[in-house]
A and B are shown apart, each in its own frame.
Chain A
Amino acid sequence: MDFTRRHLLCGCAATALTGCVSQGGGSRIQAGHAPTLDSVEGGLWDIFNRAEADLKFSPLRMTDEELNRYVSDIACRLAGRHCADMRVYLVRTPFFNANMAPNGMMQVWSGLMLRCQNEAQLAAVIGHEIGHYLKRHSLQRFEQIRDSSTVAAFLGIAIAAAGGGALANLPGLVALANIFAFSREQEREADGIGLELMVNAGYDPVQASEIWRGLIEERDAGLTAEEKRDQERQRDVFFASHPAPADRAQALALQAAAFPGGKRIVGEDRYLAQARAFRDMMMQDELRLQQYSRTLVIIERMKVANPGDADPFYYEGEVYRSRNDGIDSGRAMNAYGRALELDELHGPAWRGIGILHRRAGRQDKAAEAFRRYLELVPGAEDRLMIQSYVGA
């Protein structure tokens, strides 16, 4: 009876504790640590071991071996002797998030990967999550709230988890986690550890603040000055559990400056080399959210990170073509044109131009653009429809 009840309580807490950050103090977890099952920590681990078993077969997992190896290797370089205690899972979900469960299960969401400009920025977020793990923030958080009314809320989640509800829906689980996430002090501590791990692994720590600057730009995109102030006051669920983004970016920049200088890894090219194959898919998922102003911020950051890359201009064209508001057709046409200036063999940009011409009734020009598209992408999945436009 005691075990069952504790197990349930732990499950609730565990559900809440996959989020980001915690209370300072305490030593770091030992490499190879495994709690006994009859301990509170053992209960937490057991719940997440079962969640991990589900995650392994989730259709949301991105299973490409090379990409998984690349991200896991980054985590390993950061984690050092704790490498063997962690498992990284790439999850196809178009939101900025990564999280670390107390048992060493880490999720990296595709929305985070889309937003990183380089390898060091991804390492910053992964390092932060490892910081939570090393300080056992999940366990600390549970110990803090177990005697408070919050436990009742956790209990509700645990019951849902027992029925397969919350744990069957891992993104939902993390959303719940964010509602009951760690304290700001814990977040700051994880930030500090993340920076330390980055520097130890040879990464440029300045990139940790850059990822937060990007999120601030994204959050404020398309808002008036007054709306931006409101946004700062009424932060959304993700930001509510974290230190204010502006404060965080500033603190991270200050801390990064305190580390000795020298040549550090930023890794724009090798990050692009790995992410490029999946970026179209990630961008399509992002476009489906129809948060066009925010998406344009992501694209602008891509342009800055890789100035010679045609894809960000193509994505910009896709944003305007999809929004199709006012003079968006003209904006889309310009963006596709810029993509073709950088890479005249960019087939999808020709497709976009063809669609714009066809919408406007310029059938000859549409056919010309579609022909170029089919020449460049002969295996296009919409080949039959496009051929019908061309008359081939």
Chain B
Amino acid sequence: MRVRNLLASVLLLLSLAACETYTAVSAGQSVPVGEGVTVTAVGDWAAVSKQFVGNEGIDAMWTVDGPSINQLLFFSRVENGEPFMKSLNKKVNEDLPTWRVGMTEPDVMELVETTLAKVYEAPIVTATNLRPQVFLSSPGFAFEFDMVTKTQLETKGLVIGTQQNGLLRMMIYLAPKMHYFALHEDTVRAIAASARAGGSS
């Protein structure tokens, strides 16, 4: 019995070791990010394997310098009545706000603020500069936000998205406010501009 348990543990470890944590996404490569959304990489990125993404609801996570430094998150198919992101902490998920068909863009901005504050347990999340922006060839929105994390790191984020065909589709770029946010901000905007409908990851 003990040998069998040991064998099972070894097999589990071997299977985990076989999992790739990152997959390279090279500049110019077109990659599906979730359901029905494909983007073209601008600059070299690494896609984080699903099992290492953490919070639920994220269809794809890209990073340049590691997820603790910068994250580009894709949400390709948020449905009516659903939160767009969930924490691994079930208690946090009990009262997450949900996206609803018919929300205005200011409503969506507040939804993002509240969700980030709850999922990341961030004491401060303040969104600003809400503006129209075409995304996935549809009228959409963009805004920035400042977030102080629970460890008091000051971060900054950019959100670009659209509400179309009864779905919310969105990407969020998040990085420390000092130096790192600006480092890839233009690249992220270019990736957003490359987003096209179609494809599945």
Instruction: Determine if B148 and A359 form an interchain contact, defined as CB atoms under 8 angstroms apart.
Output: no
Q: Mark A261-305, 1 if CB is under 8 A from B, else 0.
A: 000000000000000000000001101101000000000000000
Q: Which of B5-13, B68-76, B104-112 contacts A (4 or more CB under 8 A)?
A: B104-112
Q: Which residues on A sit within 8 Å (CB–CB) of B128?
A: 381
Size bracket, chain A contacts: 20 to 34
Is A231's beta carbon under 8 Å from chain B? no
Instruction: Determine if B148 and A384 form an interchain contact, defined as CB atoms under 8 angstroms apart.
Output: no
Instruction: Determine if A388 and B152 form an interchain contact, defined as CB atoms under 8 angstroms apart.
Output: no
Instruction: Determine if B124 and A59 form an interchain contact, defined as CB atoms under 8 angstroms apart.
Output: yes
Residue B132 contacts which of A92, A351, A384 (CB distance < 8 angstroms)? A384
Contact A355 B95, CB 8 Å, known A92-B123, A92-B124? no
Residue A60 contacts which of B103, B113, B123 (CB distance < 8 angstroms)? B123
Is B89's beta carbon under 8 Å from chain A? no
Contact A288 B117, CB 8 Å, known A58-B152, A359-B104? yes
Residue B100 contacts which of A92, A168, A171, A324 (CB distance < 8 angstroms)? A324
Q: Which residues on A sit within 8 Å (CB–CB) of B150?
A: 169, 172
Instruction: Determine if B97 and A290 form an interchain contact, defined as CB atoms under 8 angstroms apart.
Output: yes
Contact A288 B113, CB 8 Å, known A59-B152, A359-B107, A385-B105? yes
Q: Which of B145-187 contact A (CB under 8 A)?
A: 148, 150-152, 154
Q: Whole-angstrom distance from the CB of B105 to the nearest CB of chain A?
A: 5
Closest to B150 in A: A169
Q: Which residues on B sit within 8 Å (CB–CB) of A384?
A: 129-132
Closest to A54 in B: B152
Instruction: Determine if A288 and B114 form an interchain contact, defined as CB atoms under 8 angstroms apart.
Output: yes
Instruction: Determine if A381 and B106 form an interchain contact, defined as CB atoms under 8 angstroms apart.
Output: no
Is B62's beta carbon under 8 Å from chain A? no
Interface size on B, residues (CB 8 A): 30
CA distance A348 to B155 in the complex (A): 27
Is A140's beta carbon under 8 Å from chain B? no
Closest to B141 in A: A385
Closest to A352 in B: B106
Residue A355 contacts which of B104, B124, B151, B154 (CB distance < 8 angstroms)? B104
Instruction: Determine if B110 and A385 form an interchain contact, defined as CB atoms under 8 angstroms apart.
Output: no
Instruction: Determine if B95 and A290 form an interchain contact, defined as CB atoms under 8 angstroms apart.
Output: yes
CA distance A324 to B114 in the complex (A): 15
Q: Whole-angstrom distance from the CB of B46 to the nearest CB of chain A?
A: 29
Q: Which residues on B sit within 8 Å (CB–CB) of A59?
A: 124, 148, 152, 154
Q: Which residues on B sit within 8 Å (CB–CB) of A322?
A: 110
Instruction: Determine if A171 and B129 form an interchain contact, defined as CB atoms under 8 angstroms apart.
Output: no
Q: Which of B118-144 contact A (CB under 8 A)?
A: 118, 123-126, 128-132, 141
CA distance A381 to B146 in the complex (A): 14
Q: Whole-angstrom distance from the CB of A285 to the nearest CB of chain B?
A: 7
Q: Whole-angstrom distance from the CB of B118 to the nearest CB of chain A?
A: 8
CA distance A305 to B150 in the complex (A): 34
Instruction: Determine if B106 and A169 form an interchain contact, defined as CB atoms under 8 angstroms apart.
Output: no
Contact A285 B132, CB 8 Å, known A60-B152, A290-B97, A355-B107? no
CA distance A285 to B117 in the complex (A): 9
Contact A381 B130, CB 8 Å, known A92-B123, A288-B125, A324-B100? yes
Is A65's beta carbon under 8 Å from chain B? no
Instruction: Determine if B123 and A171 form an interchain contact, defined as CB atoms under 8 angstroms apart.
Output: yes
Closest to B111 in A: A322
Q: Which of A155-194 contact B (CB under 8 A)?
A: 168-169, 171-172
Q: Whole-angstrom distance from the CB of A162 to the nearest CB of chain B?
A: 16
Is A255's beta carbon under 8 Å from chain B? no
CA distance A322 to B123 in the complex (A): 19
CA distance A24 to B150 in the complex (A): 36
Q: Whole-angstrom distance from the CB of B109 to the nearest CB of chain A?
A: 8
Q: Which of A87-108 contact B (CB under 8 A)?
A: 92-94
Known interface pairs A290-B95, A290-B114, A358-B104; 6 further A-B residue pairs with C-beta atoms within 8 A, sorted by A's residue number: A60-B123, A60-B152, A355-B106, A382-B130, A385-B131, A385-B132
Residues of B within 8 A of A (CB): 95, 97, 100, 102-107, 109-110, 113-114, 117-118, 123-126, 128-132, 141, 148, 150-152, 154
A-B pairs, 9 with minimum CB distance: A384-B131, A382-B130, A388-B132, A385-B130, A59-B148, A381-B128, A288-B114, A288-B117, A59-B154
